[in-house]
Structure 1
């Protein structure tokens, strides 16, 4: 019998496990991970950006967790010798009509406590990124780059040193909540546990539904983000990080340029509907999961509202020239031949029944479970803070 069983060995699950074990060393805590390694899905496929907290509504869970998590992440990496680089980024308005939204971002950043933000005109933009084009911008000094798989490996190492256990290649197949204990059955064994913590990412809604009888009222809709890499001889076009002004109506940041911590430059991602929850390639299809998405009333409302944007994203997914054109708004010198196919990630975006794409973190508690049901970007940056928040909810039960 175990005190706490955490489902999911991504960055939020491991950060939560670590926080629980640090605060209550006597509790028995295990992590169940269905893959043979940590960070195999969302965490290991992201672009490796340390987010500053610029974008998020002041006072929201995203804002508070990002800012606290940022400080906690850097302190952890300093202690555990995980490399990172606070290189800063620019956010660029490429059209005059985007300047108002840029001003809103600047004000949000200040309200969220970011010091050193600078407004930039085109000459000032080009001092930082000589090849960029735009009408105005913001420099954000707090933004950095890191390898989140390395962060996860360090979380796992410290957690296990404290006596925590990680069980790999164990996929949860059944979960039965009881009056005093829950039973978790995997493909390998059966566990009795006092409390389940669901950090299952792309399958967090499925696990959450197992913890209660009534419908949870949301569903994970998987969006694939595809990247290109810039050929080595053209990487001089990008010094650090270059972002567009995001569309305030859509929970994605738009295609951007990211220097990677281990070298190289990525360009992307787009945001297209994935045909399976772990669909990293266009050819990855799971008909059952795809039809579940299409049948969800919330997704139908999203599709009706954003169909034009969705078609544009899909077109860019299949047209390298269209993808290049989007990138040329930020760096006109980038040519189609400069791009080679990179990787892709799948974002677990929670969507409610009314068509709302949840923009904030969502934690649903039941008698025997704490479910992290929406943890999109900046969850990696915020992971230790989210883990602390979840750990506080867990420790109230003991």
Structure 2
């Protein structure tokens, strides 16, 4: 409405100017000097008032936007004016000003709310620009690094030079682990970065978390699992020995006294020999179990060399060929690209892949169209991998966290340390061993190399 009245005012004033100009022209033709002078003065006045009218409106709008830009919402335009168009324009500008003020206050409240959340967060959060200036660092991070305030990443060099090097070289979407030792304690930090753009400025958001509690919890959980398995295995071995020993003792004692040789019959002597054989067998099993435990604790450091992936997997294929004839299973090996190379201990990784392949072949035993695939390749981020995939019954969800626990096994044969050793070998290589299982579709053991 205000703009419409403004247009009406402008059109009316322009029409008056046009009529005055026509009167001025007519007076010149008729040589009406008085009319010429009067129309000239009137024409100049109308042009002056038109310019003043337009400029006053422009100045109001300019003042309005300057005030908004400077976050000054105290500017109010008078609404009690004689010109209706000005009154409606001033009312519209005041309404817009009030709406923007409400939005601004709401944004301020929301910003304070988010800032308070960041301050109270249990993880460290910071934003860094391209020049290394720290635009924001919450109190948790300052407490973690024992340094306040944090204004530039160069300050981290005073805390720990190695940590500073990590921050300086940190790229978006990277994850790093670092053990920080200070005067108070030793903490394990996990750093995760991501990129963002704010006001056309490229920033990097870094989240720093103290994972000591999580590591302690995982360590305790691992010990509980290990003790549970060890207890189970040892009790399975000791229980028959205890039972048979008790039975043999009863053959040779009666009422607390030793039975005379003449009172012993052949059946008791034969049962004694059988019992001793069982005790010997169980003792041998226990010794084998202990030897397996020793082998788990004495995995040597890998002697790594550069190995061509295609040749390496070809050797595994040959080693598994005899078992393939027995199992009648489709086993395939592939490596892409053909020139893929690994920096590994070939002997250790050979044992790992043979173990994984045997497990896969056992899982598809008796399954129609059973398939085992071994593939090597490179991820999009440049990380190399080797995976063993089968379409067997898979691993139940409740056991998938247990399979890497030493001595845990769901099979009747075996010691249950194969996967534990394989995982330890990959950790010594700076990589990891992961598993994903969808029953009767795919079970994948993947060796990820750093």
TM range (shorter): under 0.3
Higher helix share: 2
Higher relative contact order (CA 8 A, sep 6+): 1
The structure whose Rg is larger is: 2
Q: TM-score, normalised by structure 2?
A: 0.19
